[in-house]
Structure 1
Amino acid sequence: MDGLATTLDRSSFAAIAQLTSGQSPATLAQSFSDWWTHILCSPGRQLQLAAKGGRKLMRLADYAMRSASGSDPEPAINPLPQDRRFADAAWKRHPFDLIEQAFLLQQQWWHAATTGVSGVTGHHEAIVEFATRQMLDMVSPTNFIPTNPVLQQRILETGGQCLVEGARFFCDDLERLVRGEPAAGTEAYRVGEKVAATAGKVVFRNRVMELIQYAPATETVRPEPILIVPAWIMKYYILDLSPENSLIRWLVGQGYTVFCISWHNPDSADRDLDMEDYRLLGPMAAVDVIQVITGTEKIHAAGYCIGGTLLAITAAAMARDEDERLASVTLFAAQTEFSEPGELGLFIDEAEINLIDAMMWARGFLDSSQMGGAFQMLRSNDLLWSRILSTYLMGEREPMTDLMAWNADGTRMPYAMHAQYLRRLFLDNDLSEGRYEAGGHPVSLSGLSMPIFMVGTETDHVAPWRSTHKLHMLTGAEIRFVLTSGGHNAGIVSEPGHPHRHYRIATRMQDGPAPGPDAWLERAEVREGSWWPEWSSWLGSHSGEAAAPPAMGAPERNYPPLGDAPGRYVLER
């Protein structure tokens, strides 16, 4: 009877998750109820908001009068620095300037109304503020023909042809979506040809990953190879895009032997794979194979996003077991402490995890569309509404890039692993608090003693840099921390020569005092350009003298090359 009851409950929650795209209506209802109840019980706050609303109306009226006089008045309010919706000069013309000003003042008032209400829990406040912002983004005057002067001008210039072209783009995209085909333009970036094209061989394969060894590009190489552990929430070739911005190709050119994991794209048959399976069959298996192929005693390991979290767990478990094969650890936009995960934490609470768990239980995996939808909501202005406006109303499809094509090449995540990841890491924060078990025993990040290089990005909505920085508080190891311009992906794909790039850098020596993020920011040195050479120089300082490169694979030791890079797993849909 208990099994039947559990099945019925999970089926019910899975159906709700399908209807709501994985968003919990209970969490939303609880959040707005908490906010509304406390607003009703706060007459002082109500008076403050009423007064604030009155002042904003007066500011708008004053601006309207100054604008009507024919002068070029100072605006009553300016958009936030990251808000580019009203950048066109057409928004300065009457009456569109009033429309813009009224919207921005209203947006500011709603922010004040949904934050700082006494008694509302922090999580509920964040959800209400976020949901209100989403609704305001939806009704922004930039999204409608009668209130968008730039769109009106485009329609006049094209004789309405832009709307026809936009309708054609919409039908094409809808047809591709129904057929399960990739986005338009991605065919120009075929995996193994235009992207993921660095020469190499698959030298090992198991049910979780393929291990790629890249061919040397220099006569001599450093004796310590580099193992890259990418996230399985994405395909590995974000680090091997086009030749000019491939981190892997660049590393090989710097005289390093590079190995990279290419994860299997799981399906329902892989539902029971968990974090421990990924640790043992991923980086641990890779370290064993690399050591056999290269004959080295030490390996540099680098992890990206959730791959970096897994690498940190692996390194902590190896330290606990007195396994000293890691010469260094590098973490790209990777969290090890999850108490402040940024806006992604909006989607993580008991109700949300219960719903996502039921949805994954029914299918055996979490589909990439659910993850992609959450990430789009975090930046709805840039990733959703602006693209709808430019593509379907302006009739201008944004040219496809290698990074965009990669982003459209989604992956799935197995039920057991993702449920464990959400609960034990995000919700319960077990790793930073010493409760996370690997190999049947807890691991502690305080055991990390190898040199660590970390990269955070300034506008990261997935792994905020202040969150990634918290590893300083969890270990006494030497940490060289880089904060680079860009976001979670573009900040990492930051090749030398890329325009308008800069980074900040500072080192905390082993057993030195742990600076908080603000203190670190004050003393970090600002440098122009790409952080890649900084990493290569740091790796070199922790490496031995260059020698002849190792062979590709080790046929005599049961690791023959199994085929050319990029292998089979990266092509799985």
Structure 2
Amino acid sequence: MDETEGGTAADIFAEMLKMQSEAARAVLATTIPDERAVAEWGETAGQLQKMWLDFHVPAEQDVDAPVPLFADPAQWMGLMQAWYQQMPYLDVQRQQALWNEGIALWEDILAQYGIGQDGTGEALAEPHLPRTDRRFADPAWREQPVYALIHQTYLLFADRLQEMVGEVGGIDEAERDQLRFALRNVLDAMSPSNFPLTNPVVLERTLDTHGANLVKGMERLAADLERGQLTHTDSSKFKLGENIACTPGKVVHETPLYQLIQYSPATDEVAAVPVVIFPPWINRFYILDLNPKKSFVKWAVEQGLTVFVVSWRSADESMADVTWDDYVRAQIDAIDHIRERLGVPSVHAIGYCVAGTTLAATLAVLARRGQADKVRSTTFFTAQVDFERAGELKHFVDETQLALIKQASQGGFLDGRYMAATFNLLRGSDLIWNYVVNHYLLGEDYPAFDLLHWNGDVTNLPSKWHSAYLRDLYRDNKLVQPDALSADGTPIDLTLIKTPAYIQAGREDHIAPPDSVWKLTTTLAGPVRFVLAGSGHIAGVVNPPAARKYQYWTNEKQAASLEDFLAGSTEHPGSWWTDWIAWLATLDGERVKATGKRKPGGRGDKVIEDAPGRYVAMR
């Protein structure tokens, strides 16, 4: 590229930095602090320096090193520019095109702010910037041209790089998806919103509080580094059994792997066939019992169902040899215990996410053994059995990632914080950097949000099971290959399953994508009802009717694909829960009195402890 035409495209960022730095210095220069403010700034600087030295700086390092929160943004820009120049798919023509587009963008924005080439012009009352992003929604990003240039240039840069991934040659689609995923996370991390001196909202807050926001942020950063997990909410506001996981019930059965909770009836009569819910053991079961207004468990009990939930134990060294077979055996054990306890021939079984995947294997085992009638119906919440289109989690199943997981597994189990970080990375802008800005940089108080509390209440995973699951299902996709896998000594063939099935998927689910969940409909041999819910992996499931949120789609005709399903579907406002309970009623209408062991802990009924039990509190 001809340097006389403006240099490389990266020069645009150097100019951007220069203008931003000059503007920041001008703001600081016109803010004359009084004596008290000077003292407060001095105290703030001392606190930050001490915290940084105490927590991070080795003894031999220069103790006068600046606190990174106040680092010159040139360091950030230098890293950004170096990374940009090393991108293998940015040839000279691409750099020239991006340079030209950047210049046009700058000229347009500066003109809107009344800054012409001759230094004069008429500013628009309300600039119309070409790109929007909620990270830059605060008016401060538009009030000064320098910050408009910063975030608009970043968004242009990000858009063009993401587009270029689709044009990279010599790689397959899986590698392209991995590159796209990695690029998105790098770009999220490089956003100017994440750095104090390139974020006008943080600068304003710092000036207003004399740096107290950054002191608070450093304290939180140090605490999170100590615990090895990003804080999302004020967990002190939640207590198991009081304001979360508080639906009344008893633990009626226990093994080293799980506790079985039976909930107390809320109606005089209940459906004869009980319901057992198998939640994923990657998180705590109470996602389905967050609080009385959101609780699927409480709602189901109020509909006249006898509800059981499995509470899985968080793995420790005693579970080093636990495999997938143990979870299949546990599901069969829970089904058999309920049948014996209530004297019923069958149960309605629900499996959520990975527990739904395992439930499919359990049903195949029962079918092969001639015991399929133990389960009257099965419901799958966002569960996959065919992992061909399993979404972005497939980026973590190549040999390098599997080796890292094995290395991270100490004592025979994988620390749940690893999985939490992985899921956060899938939505880094929302689940990582948004919290860095709000709580580390702005110093805002953490919200008291039960869903975020649950999300951070991690569970450990048996390492043998976890590695085999990623390898056999996500990587090799063996579950849909008849008899390629076995459980408890029985080969698994999902095509043997004739149990009536209700399959729920989330339209915006990034963990179990809807087109992946859809494949269940073409795998099972029995009657299937598929429902697509609005929202994603959690909110798409936890959507009580009273909330009147989202929507769901049904299609009474047979469809060959998810696209065909949607083309002929009917949209319904609100929660799919009402559709599910109506479907369940079509299978069995018999009702019985809610007496005897239908009321756990009654006269003559020996139980272990009150719900939610001990296992849910184990770390």
- Bucket of the pairwise TM-score, normalised by the shorter protein: 0.7 to 0.9
Query: In the alignment, which of 260, 276, 285 is matched to residue 211 of structure 1?
Result: 260
Contact 1:485 1:501 in 2 (8 A): yes
Contact 1:38 1:120 in 2 (8 A): no
Counterpart of 2:19? none
Change in 2 beyond 3 A, CA 1:497/1:150: farther
Q: Which amino acid aligns with 2:392?
A: E
Query: In the alignment, which of 106, 114, 125 is matched to residue 176 of structure 2?
Result: 125
Change in 2 beyond 3 A, CA 1:502/1:154: farther
Q: Deviations over 1:464-512 (max 9, x none)?
A: 111111112212432222222222122211112225422222346xxx5
- Structure 2: gaps spanning 5 or more residues: 1-84, 115-122
Q: Which amino acid aligns with 2:545?
A: P
Give the Cα–Cα distance (whole angstroms) in 2 for the partners of residues 549 and 116 of structure 1: 64
Counterpart of 1:420? 468
Give the Cα–Cα distance (whole angstroms) in 2 for the partners of residues 529 and 48 of structure 1: 51
Residues 41-440 of structure 1 correspond to what in structure 2 (within 5 A)? 46=91, 49-50=94-95, 52-69=97-114, 70-71=123-124, 72-76=126-130, 78-79=131-132, 83-93=133-143, 94-174=145-225, 177=227, 185-280=234-329, 282-323=330-371, 324-360=373-409, 362-434=410-482, 435-440=484-489
Query: In the alignment, which of 535, 543, 560 is matched to residue 606 of structure 2?
Result: 560
The Cα of 1:39 is off from its aligned counterpart by 5.2
Q: Which amino acid aligns with 1:66?
A: A
Q: Deviations over 1:249-284 (max 9, x none)?
A: 11000000001111111211211111111111x210
Q: Which amino acid aligns with 1:363?
A: G
Give the Cα–Cα distance (whole angstroms) in 2 for the partners of residues 63 and 339 of structure 1: 45
The Cα of 1:184 is off from its aligned counterpart by 6.5
Q: Which amino acid aligns with 1:396?
A: E
Q: Which amino acid aligns with 1:117?
A: V
Q: Which amino acid aligns with 1:142?
A: S
Query: In the alignment, which of 480, 495, 498 is matched to residue 446 of structure 1?
Result: 495
> More deviation in 150-159 or 255-264?
150-159
> Secondary structure of the equivalent of 1:64?
helix
> Secondary structure of the equivalent of 1:85?
helix
Give the Cα–Cα distance (whole angstroms) in 2 for the partners of residues 378 and 367 of structure 1: 18
Change in 2 beyond 3 A, CA 1:351/1:144: closer
Q: Which amino acid aligns with 1:190?
A: K
Query: In the alignment, which of 528, 532, 538 is matched to residue 483 of structure 1?
Result: 532
Q: Deviations over 1:157-195 (max 9, x none)?
A: 4444333333344445455x27x9998732321112211
Give the Cα–Cα distance (whole angstroms) in 1 for the partners of residues 601 and 188 of structure 2: 58
- Structure 1: gaps spanning 5 or more residues: 1-35
Contact 1:213 1:259 in 2 (8 A): yes
Contact 1:293 1:551 in 2 (8 A): no
The Cα of 1:524 is off from its aligned counterpart by 1.9
Give the Cα–Cα distance (whole angstroms) in 1 for the partners of residues 222 and 103 of structure 2: 45
Counterpart of 2:590? 545
> Secondary structure of the equivalent of 1:211?
strand
Give the Cα–Cα distance (whole angstroms) in 2 for the partners of residues 314 and 340 of structure 1: 22
Give the Cα–Cα distance (whole angstroms) in 2 for the partners of residues 181 and 140 of structure 1: 19
Residues 450-529 of structure 1 correspond to what in structure 2 (within 5 A)? 450-498=499-547, 500-507=549-556, 512=558, 514-529=559-574
Name the Cα RMSD after superposition: 2.6
The Cα of 1:430 is off from its aligned counterpart by 0.7
Q: Which amino acid aligns with 1:422?
A: L
Query: In the alignment, which of 511, 532, 538 is matched to residue 577 of structure 2?
Result: 532
- Find the structure with the greater CA-based Rg: 2
Contact 1:224 1:298 in 2 (8 A): yes
The Cα of 1:226 is off from its aligned counterpart by 0.3
Give the Cα–Cα distance (whole angstroms) in 2 for the partners of residues 37 and 152 of structure 1: 31
Change in 2 beyond 3 A, CA 1:239/1:365: same
Change in 2 beyond 3 A, CA 1:48/1:182: closer
Contact 1:552 1:561 in 2 (8 A): no
Q: Which amino acid aligns with 2:236?
A: E
Contact 2:233 2:452 in 1 (8 A): no
Q: Which has the higher contact order (CA 8 A, sep 6+)?
A: 1
Q: Which amino acid aligns with 1:377?
A: L
Q: Which amino acid aligns with 1:486?
A: S
Q: Which amino acid aligns with 1:404?
A: L
Q: Deviations over 1:91-117 (max 9, x none)?
A: 222121111210111001111232331
TM-score (norm 2): 0.79
Change in 2 beyond 3 A, CA 1:90/1:229: same
Change in 2 beyond 3 A, CA 1:38/1:565: closer
> More deviation in 497-506 or 338-347?
497-506
TM-score (norm 1): 0.85
Give the Cα–Cα distance (whole angstroms) in 1 for the partners of residues 315 and 436 of structure 2: 31
Q: Deviations over 1:55-82 (max 9, x none)?
A: 5224413423432431345433x24xxx
